[in-house]
Amino acid sequence: VQLVESGGGFVQAGDSLRLSCAASLLPFGDYAMGWYRQAPGKEREFVARISRSGGATNYADSVKGRFTISRDNAKNTVSLQMNSLKPEDTAVYFCAAAYATILTNPGYWGQGTQVTVSS
């Protein structure tokens, strides 16, 4: 089982980034997916999640209205579109998965991708 993130980078405040996660979980449509992040010196925190059908999404208050999670079950991918980035969004972003309808306790994690937002 592999979750491989891509798309991180160094951007300026106000810029956008799109993170992607390619999953080897099969069948992909049986897994709820999500994104977490961990900033230096802080605990890992929830960012966004999407149900296995893609019909339900949830976001942390800190990213609501700026980030959008989506999935393509035909391509086994989940994405996180991040707009209006802020320096406080700087963190390592992790893709997560659970064999469930809704992501509550991830059983699978990616290695993470660094996002750095400069002011």
Q: Is 106 exposed, middle or buried (0-12, 13-18, 19+ CB in 10 A)?
A: buried
Give start and end residues of each alpha helix (H) in 1-62.
none
Task: Report which of 56, 116, 50, 106 is spatially closest to residue 78, judged by C-alpha positions.
Answer: 50
Position 10 scores a pLDDT of: 98
What percentage of the chain reaches a pLDDT higher than 70? 100
Provide the β-strand partners of residue 91.
Answer: 115
Return the residue matching tokens 């106000």. Answer: 14
Which phi and psi angles does 14 have, rounded to 5°? 95, -15
pLDDT tens digits, one per residue of 4-48 = 999 999 999 999 999 999 999 889 999 999 999 999 999 999 999
Return the residue matching tokens 């963190």. Answer: 91
C-alpha radius of gyration, the chain, whole number:
13
Position 1 scores a pLDDT of: 72
